[in-house]
Chain A
């Protein structure tokens, strides 16, 4: 019995160590949530306003720019998946990847091919393990993303979107104008890493939206072309007269719409990607905090149980020793 007591004590010690580590990780994640949450809230006006402006412009029929009006017969769609770089965050990545798989299945059922763009080491590893080709991948900033990070990813997306399905991204340096309706000349210069990628007709992003510390939901959104929520807006129109009046008003554009939307498009995608990254970062910390809290609680439960077992073993040992002494004394007395 002495051996098992020693084993139990060792297990208690190591479990306590684990609890200490997970507790520390929990605290770190918890402090990150607050910061990430503040960033999500601070950054929300920009992407909301941006989307609002473009939606209004699209409703006013300002332009048939591909950003505003869906292309006919889309043949290829780009999917941006936002995962974390590190693990130990419960089902966070599994949930995102499951949703990403669902979206891609849906797209391929609709007869569209998919190009995969991945942010975060876990997502990259997931698709590499399955030998799935990724058109672009970015890692190393999932916990504290900044705007330049978003810019890099978004510019690649802009490049493939502007190229259009059935075309590939070409940098202006090696080939000037291109024929066909798919690609167009713009002020936007595709980043080097996007060169040769296949163009897409629509862009989706799959990420974890941060609702509150207690609730995060995986969402997939189409970011380009703009999704116009027709049902909602028609209700709005009937209810608010001033609103509809505003919409009827003629919009003025400087410079002309085609050029303007070409300029706004990369900024818009950056804003949407950045917003998604911030949401994902806050969600990641929240998921990690929850996972680490569960781990700490489990470790503490385990310590309690092991302590009980160790006490029992110790008691049994003492009892045995006493009975041995009594037995020995009795044997001598006879």
Chain B
């Protein structure tokens, strides 16, 4: 099976890197699936989104990615994000709290909307259903 070099790199550290056969992510223009041999591309990701990676060895997993973009060449996919969390690292309870607080509303509409989007992305990445 064809494979490509995939890395998720956060500002503070490299979260994950390895061989993978498939990557899916949501860019600002829509969902995108990447297979090895893709045309070189640079794409901005959703401000708060979920990335799915199918490694060649092991189970597919998700990661929540904030303020990221991805760079694709024929052999590699690099996801760069200001903040990224692997599904296994996400604290579901905290994200639920966060979502509830954000949906409860606050003074700053922009801020709460962004917080809610972040919390939803976390929950989606962790395989939970954030509702609407």
- B71 contact from A45, A49, A271, Cβ within 8 A: A49
Q: How far is the CA of A224 from the CA of B34 in the complex (A)?
A: 31
**Contact among A43, A49, A254 for B78, CB-based, below 8 A:** A49
Q: How far is the CB of A90 from chain B (nearest CB, A)?
A: 28
Instruction: Indicate if B23 sits at the interface (CB-CB under 8 A).
Output: no
Which of chain A's residues has its CB closest to B30's CB? A254
List B residues 16-74 near A (Cβ within 8 Å): 27-29, 32, 39-44, 67, 69, 71, 73-74
In whole angstroms, how far apart are the Cα atoms of A163 and B69 in the complex?
A: 24
The secondary-structure label for the interface of chain B is strand
Any B CB within 8 A of the CB of A249 = yes
- The DSSP consensus for interface residues of chain A is helix
Among B11, B27, B43, contact of A147 (Cβ-Cβ < 8 Å): B11
Residues on A lying within 8 angstroms of B by beta carbon are: 39, 42-43, 45-46, 49-50, 53, 56-57, 62, 147, 246, 249-255, 260, 263-264, 267, 270-271, 274
Determine the distance from Cα of A76 to Cα of B78 in the docked complex, in whole angstroms: 35
Q: For residue A246, which residues in chain B have a CB less than 8 angstroms away from its CB?
A: 40, 73-74
| A63 to B: closest C-beta gap in Å | 10
Task: Tell me if A253 and B14 are in contact (CB < 8 A).
Answer: no
Instruction: With CB as the reference atom, state the residue of chain A lying closest to B27.
Output: A254
Which of A62, A250, A255, A263 has a CB less than 8 Å from the CB of B29?
Answer: A255
Q: A251-B40, A253-B43 are in contact. Are A50 and B14 (CB under 8 A)?
A: no
Please give, as numbers and ranges, the residues of chain B lying within 8 Å of A42 by CB-CB distance: 12-14
Cβ of B4 under 8 Å from chain A = no
A169-B90 Cα distance, complex, nearest whole Å: 39
User: When the two chains form their complex, are residues A46 and B28 in contact, meaning their CB atoms are under 8 A apart?
Assistant: no
Contact indicator A53/B11 (Cβ below 8 Å): no
* CB pair B9 A254 closer than 8 Å: no
CB < 8 Å neighbour of B42 from A43, A53, A274: A53
Minimum CB–CB distance for A35 against chain B, Å? 12
Contact A255 B11 (CB under 8 A): no
Residues in B neighbouring A255, C-beta threshold 8 A: 28-29, 44
B89 CB-CB contact with A under 8 Å: no
Q: Could you say which residues of chain B place their CB within 8 Å of the CB of A147?
A: 11-12, 82
Contact of A250 among B28, B32, B40, B78 (CB under 8 A): B40
User: Which B residues, 66 to 104, have Cβ-Cβ distances below 8 Å to chain A?
Assistant: 67, 69, 71, 73-74, 78, 80, 82
Q: Report chain A residues within 8 Å CB of B74.
A: 246, 249
Distance from A281 Cβ to chain B, minimum over Cβ atoms (Å): 13
For A263, list chain B residues within 8 Å (CB).
44, 69
A-B contact pairs, 7 of them (CB 8 A): A45-B7, A49-B80, A250-B40, A251-B42, A252-B43, A260-B44, A263-B69
> Which B residues lie within 8 Å of A251 (CB)?
40-42
Whether A46 contacts B69 by the Cβ 8 Å rule is no
Contacts of A43 in B (CB 8 A): 11-13
A39 touches B44 (CB 8 A): no
Residue of B nearest to A254 (CB): B43
Q: Which chain A residue lies CB-closest to B67?
A: A267
Taking the closest CB of chain A, its distance from the CB of B28, in whole angstroms, is: 6
**A46–B85 alpha-carbon span in the complex (Å):** 15
